[in-house]
Amino acid sequence: MTRQNILESRNNFSIYGVFRFTSYLLASIAMYMGNLQIAGIAFGFGATLGFVRRLARLWE
* Residue 14 near residue 49, CB atoms below 8 Å: no
Average pLDDT over residues 53-60: 84
How do residues 3-24 score in pLDDT, each as one tens digit?
666 666 566 667 888 888 899 9
Q: Is the pLDDT of residue 1 over 60?
A: no
pLDDT(59) > 60: yes
pLDDT in the model for residue 8: 60
Mean pLDDT computed over 49-59: 86
Q: Are 48 and 29 in contact (CB under 8 A)?
A: no
CA separation for the pair 34, 39 (Å, rounded):
9
| Arithmetic mean of pLDDT, 22-38 | 93
In the chain, where are the structural domains located?
11-59
